Structure 1
Amino acid sequence: METNPVLAYGAWLAEAPDDWPEAAREAAHRQFIDVIGVMIPGAVEPVTRRVFATVKGWGTGPSTAIGFGASLAPPWDALVNGTAAHALDFDDNFDPAKAHATAVLAPAILALAEAEGVSGAACIDAYIAGLQILGRVGQGVNPAHRNRGWHATATVGAIGAAAACARLLQLDAQRAGHAVSMATSMAAGFMSQFGTMAKPLHAGLAAKSGVLAAGLAREGIDAGLDTLDGPTGMNRLMVGPDYKQLRDTLTHVEHGQNLRFETQSIGDPLLILSSGFRVKRFPNCGSAHRAMDGILTLKQSYNFVLDEVNSVDIYAPVSHLNNLMYENPRDALQAKFSLEYGVACALATGNCTLADFTDEAARRPEISALYPRIHRHPVDKAEGEFPTEVHVQLADGRKLEMAVAMPAGSLAAPFTLDQVWAKLDGCAAGLLGAESHDALRVALAKIPQLPNITPLMAPLAGPFPS
């Protein structure tokens, strides 16, 4: 068996049969519904509009820029739509890679599929295969890669997108491996961009990189074989010079993140089924969701009101709280990465919706007035070792406590298909007309049967109202 991960992943992408379990196809289908839903309002966000304004003069093409009434060349289309997919932070998380997987994979696949005229079933196949490689690369560099400040959506995501596009283009083993390798030269993104427009741009850049890497590989451009695991490979450069020590002294492994690139059983287990996704209930950083779920559950169970709350103490893994760096957010982008804002919003309104993430909403004095009551307590344990604990002290002396191991929308508490459709409908409200909305729902329901994806993209073309 091949032990070099570049060669092994290229061979698997070229040779793995398209005979996925029906549950895997259904899971992939749901994620297309979810991400297209969030791409609709994401398309009218300032960051997406500015990305489109940047690339629109660089040439038209066959791929639909969602919401702009325009078509672009596939790399620029993936850049625009990938940014839209992540602009609201309402897209899914994928634990093996610690990345927003679908916001990268789906825009890359759709941009290329529209240009190549391939079927909806081929898109599903490319998504499952690309996700598997995205997860395997993520397991090979995490948890240290993510914990040390790399944004895995941008880094690991670019490689996963290249894998998905290589699969969609049916590249042979050598060229698929070169696509994977080439994407490492485009993999970049720091967590220091969180709370700025550059953060959602990371998803667009990764999607664009996947399209570009696979296209270059198809034309015969080769790439190095040691770019994942070698003297100057991704693991040593983007984990650290202590990579081997970290790998060999791991005592707790979560989500398969063992700092080793799996090359012998690449497709087993199938990560889309064994790990699943964290589909988002709230449009903000998923690291806050366990705490927010806990607050809402306690409110529902004990029926307390805001004036009764003396204090809220949140005990959470330090890795989660590191992602939530804004304790007193000043705008909507910072609010998405604020534990205090998410918890205060849940306390005050009983929910947290897209309407809560405008600059005006983020600056509400009635929300910021709650911040002094909310206290964060970092716990130096991994998320699987320590569930987020929510402690609420009420004025009458009652102390309410709850531990949340996994958020709503995860494999432990998955959304129903009705909830997925409801999320799409909520995201599309006010942006898609009734006729386009109906046509989109019909096409989304039939993705596996579509001979090409034109019926899916046509209702999304726009332009959407500003």
Structure 2
Amino acid sequence: MTMNRRSLLGAAGLALGAPVVTVAQAAEVAQAPHKEALKAPPPPPVTKILAEFIHDSSYDGLPDNVRREGVRSFLNWVGVAIGGSHHETVDIAVSALQPFSGPPQASLFGRTERFDIMNAAFLNGVASHIFDFDDTHLKTIIHPAGPVASAILAHAEMKPVSGKDFLDALVVGIEVECRIGNVVYPNHYDAGWHITGTCGPFGAAAAVSKLMGLSVEQTIYALGLAASQPVGLRESFGSMTKSFNPGRAAANGLFAAILASKGFTSSEKMIEVRRGWAQTISTKQDWSQITEGLGTRYESALNTYKPFACGIVMHPAIDAAIQIRDGEHVKPEDIKSVDLKVHPLVLESTGKTAPKTGLEGKFSIYHAVAVAFVEGAGGEKQFSDRAVKDPRVLALRAKVNPVVTPGVDPAQVDMVVTLNDGRTIHRHIDHAIGSVEKPMTDAQLDAKFRDLADGILPAAQATRVLTLCRSLPDLKDAGEVARAGVQGA
């Protein structure tokens, strides 16, 4: 069958008699969305600015409150990594990767296997995030420690470093990671990216570059290589892949720094230019979030730690439910309905109405509120496969009614519980426990650590690891923490 000229043009989408579009005109149309960006002043050289900050940082230059929060971030991360070390997700990953691992250079918390540092960074990163119980930088919802600590602790086992140098690298990595996140949040996150996975490689690369003593130029290359390795989509939430993202971010950042240390080059403006990281994966870029107060104001001082093992936007509702349950002595069977006024992000991120697994329950506001009323807690046991199938939780879950309400902040919830006898109980939460405004105490963090280690490490061993974490700045060899945390140590 032959095609005449009219049919051919029609198949090509060209109408006869329509103006002919030249290559130059087509290029002009393609460039139209970028014209406004081209009119804007050029961005500052933030890749170089960050590299110089990383290179020049020192433990002695860190404010006391930043050092303290760095230690708390590390302790919390070690606890969740131990707690998650025997989750099915980690078992699968260990089994899959073990035949391909290089030399046994680094430890896995809570286990006996040893891996090469790239795989160890990945696996500890997965373990530390699988419970969704790790730290949170609330301005961006980044979980900062996972990618950074996983990478530098693996490296520190291969090439020992002091606790002070380790803590400096940890703080620097978290700072870089969170400031880059500030540049693009929330547009980047709203587009569907898992921001811990996309910003995590920068934090890991920065921290490892610091530990390795890379030059400014090498650190620029490391950041450029990290920019080429964003990982993670929000569609993965509720599955094993969510924890894959910070694990992969740790390995990617470590990979970037090691390559850069040997002179593997990158663009020197990989973060800021039009076809670079920030302008490619986000419609918003606020460069001042990197430059303002760099080295004097620390994002790591704003890190927070979860009392509840689930998505952070559900914490106000869990807090309110537990307060009503315990304070008003409300039993689940007495409840007719639970009405919540929430921010849109609550239903967008945690709107699973019928979770089938514990991982899915971590992203269900319905389950979170129901289990908080039934069990009076929101720890890992409340987000298990057992909990999401509990008949009492299932019955109450159907009575939870979240409504997106204008004016409600992501950190807030307004809850009204209607009882079967007609009474109503109201609770409004502005800031849940675990927030910057109501932080977990050291004692609460220690208790969380012990609870996570229970059943994995003997109590005496857990205490030793906790003590090592608390005394991190005084350690001659930071890798001692990793070795102390293996099963049977």
What TM-score, normalized to structure 1? Answer: 0.91
Q: In the alignment, which of 300, 318, 327 is matched to residue 272 of structure 1? A: 300
What letter is aligned with 1:75? M
Matching residue of 1:323: 349
- Following TM superposition, by how much is the alpha carbon of 1:72 offset from its aligned partner in structure 2, in angstroms? 1.7
CA distance in 2 between counterparts of 1:78 and 1:380 reads: 42
How many corresponding residue pairs?
445
Contact preservation (8 Å) 2:200, 2:249: yes
Q: In the alignment, which of 273, 280, 284 is matched to residue 230 of structure 1? A: 273
Mapping 1:16-31, distance limit 5 Å? 16-18=57-59, 19-31=61-73
- Following TM superposition, by how much is the alpha carbon of 1:204 offset from its aligned partner in structure 2, in angstroms? 0.5
> Can you list the C-alpha shifts for 1:247-267, whole angstroms capped at 9, x where unaligned?
6xxxxxxxxxx5755235322
- Following TM superposition, by how much is the alpha carbon of 1:25 offset from its aligned partner in structure 2, in angstroms? 0.8
Q: In the alignment, which of 332, 346, 352 is matched to residue 306 of structure 1? A: 332
- Following TM superposition, by how much is the alpha carbon of 1:390 offset from its aligned partner in structure 2, in angstroms? 1.4
CA distance in 1 between counterparts of 2:215 and 2:157 reads: 21
Matching residue of 1:286: 312
> Can you list the C-alpha shifts for 1:208-261, whole angstroms capped at 9, x where unaligned?
111111111111111113322212122222114xx4xxx6xxxxxxxxxx5755
Pick which of 57-66 and 288-297 moved more: 57-66
Contact preservation (8 Å) 2:465, 2:481: yes
In structure 2, the residue corresponding to 1:432 is in which secondary structure?
coil
Matching residue of 1:83: 126
Mapping 1:33-432, distance limit 5 Å? 33-57=75-99, 58-240=101-283, 243=284, 258=286, 260-263=288-291, 265-273=293-301, 276-379=302-405, 383=409, 387-432=412-457
Q: Which runs of 5+ in 2 are unaligned?
A: 1-42
CA distance in 2 between counterparts of 1:406 and 1:109 reads: 33
- Compare CA radii of gyration and give the structure with the larger one: 2
> Can you list the C-alpha shifts for 1:39-64, whole angstroms capped at 9, x where unaligned?
11201001111111222222223211
Compared CA separation, residues 348 and 382, structure 1 to 2 (3 A):
closer
Contact preservation (8 Å) 2:57, 2:168: no
- Following TM superposition, by how much is the alpha carbon of 1:382 offset from its aligned partner in structure 2, in angstroms? 7.4
- Following TM superposition, by how much is the alpha carbon of 1:312 offset from its aligned partner in structure 2, in angstroms? 0.7
What letter is aligned with 1:350? G
Matching residue of 2:54: 13
What letter is aligned with 1:76? N
CA distance in 2 between counterparts of 1:162 and 1:120 reads: 19
- Following TM superposition, by how much is the alpha carbon of 1:325 offset from its aligned partner in structure 2, in angstroms? 3.0
Matching residue of 1:251: none
CA distance in 2 between counterparts of 1:443 and 1:362 reads: 36
- Following TM superposition, by how much is the alpha carbon of 1:444 offset from its aligned partner in structure 2, in angstroms? 2.0
What letter is aligned with 2:152? I
1:445 is aligned to 2:486:
no
In structure 2, the residue corresponding to 1:61 is in which secondary structure?
coil
Contact preservation (8 Å) 2:341, 2:408: no
Contact preservation (8 Å) 1:35, 1:102: yes
In structure 2, the residue corresponding to 1:262 is in which secondary structure?
helix
Contact preservation (8 Å) 1:3, 1:264: no
Contact preservation (8 Å) 1:159, 1:187: no
CA distance in 2 between counterparts of 1:289 and 1:373 reads: 19
CA distance in 2 between counterparts of 1:122 and 1:150 reads: 32
- Following TM superposition, by how much is the alpha carbon of 1:461 offset from its aligned partner in structure 2, in angstroms? 1.6
Compared CA separation, residues 129 and 382, structure 1 to 2 (3 A):
farther
CA distance in 1 between counterparts of 2:204 and 2:426 reads: 41
What letter is aligned with 1:354? E
Contact preservation (8 Å) 2:118, 2:251: yes
> Can you list the C-alpha shifts for 1:311-331, whole angstroms capped at 9, x where unaligned?
111111112321103111011
Matching residue of 1:252: none
> Can you list the C-alpha shifts for 1:368-390, whole angstroms capped at 9, x where unaligned?
11122101112356736x72211
Contact preservation (8 Å) 2:223, 2:270: no
Compared CA separation, residues 416 and 149, structure 1 to 2 (3 A):
same
Q: Which runs of 5+ in 1 are unaligned?
A: 248-257
CA distance in 2 between counterparts of 1:8 and 1:382 reads: 37
> Can you list the C-alpha shifts for 1:120-165, whole angstroms capped at 9, x where unaligned?
1111101111111111100111111112211011001111111111
In structure 1, the residue corresponding to 2:269 is in which secondary structure?
coil
Compared CA separation, residues 399 and 382, structure 1 to 2 (3 A):
closer
> Can you list the C-alpha shifts for 1:13-58, whole angstroms capped at 9, x where unaligned?
1113431111111111111111111111201001111111222222
